[in-house]
Structure 1
Amino acid sequence: MQKETVPLVVLGGGGHTQEIIYIMKIGPYFSNITLIHGSCDSLSKSLFLQEISPKKHTSYSMPRPNNVLEKYSVLQMICSLFSAIMIILRSKSDFLICNGPGISVPVALAYRLLHPGRPIFYIESMTRVKTLSAAGKIIQYIASVFIVQSKELSRNTYPCRRFHSIFKILPV
């Protein structure tokens, strides 16, 4: 019997959660999913589980490394990184998928540190067409696959950066 593949999915607030739900819907179905979300963000977890409906899931909450529209604080980042390490040591995931919330930075760093051979998939938000997000600027160096939504961003030379229009804007 083949072992089931378990993704570790990072949930951020608002639009990031909607984008990751869309990404998970267009990809293959996973019956078992591990989730990480901010400790003050249970709504994202509820929305994700309602939309994706995995048969089994494990979820972890951790402190955010930054507050919305604020820069990263060194102390907050260290606390978040330590928390991410503890979570990843407990999780049984085969790969990481994230899409840009600040919380994905410590998770991706910890994942690369603890599982250097496992893939990290990062999909930059569709709203980023000229510059990368703060999270994207860091994660592009450790991601196995780094997908951007604009051709302008894909012209930069970092090797794992790829253009792929995942999100389609449909007329109303």
Structure 2
Amino acid sequence: MVILGSGGHTKEMLDLCAHLDFENKFKPLVFVIAKHDHLSSRKVQNFAEFKNSKVLFVFRSRKVGQSYFSSIFTTLWATLEALLVCAKERPQLLLCNGPGTCIPFCVAARLTSFHCTQVFVESFCRTRSLSLSAKIALFISDYVLVQWPHLAKKYPKCIYEGLLV
């Protein structure tokens, strides 16, 4: 299961996915996209290797500019929806890289599947510090990968494997 953010996060994740063996190792492939993120949906459809993948649309936990107080309620709603999706799909791998859309799925996968490996890939543009999502993922995910060596030194739980996108 691949959680797509929006904009640059989607591009980074699709670039990363283009190097993975979905045909032999990771099948069936499920993409999760925020309901109003039409651009990410089109991008998935444009990749020939992802034509047979399943695409699910879910609520965002927080919209850009939304107050933190009201995002408490939308995040709870998104987490409930993520619990239902994870219980149904039973992912063995959860791959995500960014905005709040992925955090409810990280929580849900941890609660519904004991055999789901979670990999959070911090965005290439995070050069000095981790995003809020990555800081949360440190407590939930099995692996948090960073793309700059000094971030792995600054945050010892992170893993640096070189540039991934």
Tell me the TM-score range normalised by the shorter chain: 0.7 to 0.9
User: How far apart, CA to CA, are the structure 2 residues paired with 1:70 and 1:61?
Assistant: 20
Structure 1 unmatched ranges of 5 or more:
1-7
Q: Which amino acid aligns with 1:36?
A: V
- 1:18 paired with 2:18, answer no
The SS at the match of 1:56 is coil
Rate the CA distance shift 1:133–1:44 in 2: closer, same or farther, 3 A: same
Looking at structure 1, the residues matched to 162 and 48 of structure 2 have their Cα atoms a distance apart, in angstroms, of 21
Partner residue in 2 for 1:133: 131
Equivalent residue for 2:59, pick from 50, 58, 63: 63
Query: Which consecutive unaligned segments of at least 5 residues does structure 2 have?
Result: none
Deviation at 1:93, TM superposition (A): 2.4
> Could you tell me the TM-score, scaled by structure 2's length?
0.88
Over residues 57-90 of structure 1, what are the superposed CA-to-partner deviations in whole Å (9 max), with x where a residue is unaligned? 2221111111125565110110000011111111
Return closer, same or farther for 1:58/1:127 CA change in 2, 3 Å cut-off: same
Aligned residue among 92, 95, 98 for 1:94:
92
**Partner SS for 1:53:** helix
Q: Does 1:163 align with 2:160?
A: yes
1:33 equivalent to 2:45? Answer no
Identify if the C-alpha distance between structure 1 residues 81 and 133 changes in structure 2 by more than 3 Å, giving closer, same or farther: same
8 Å contact 2:79–2:108 — kept in the other structure? yes
* Higher share in helix: 2
| 3-state DSSP of counterpart to 2:140 | coil
Shift of 1:43: 2.1
Q: Percent of aligned positions with the same letter in both sequences? A: 24
Structure 1 runs (4+) deviating above 4 angstroms are 69-72
| Residue 102 of structure 2 corresponds to residue 104 of structure 1 | yes
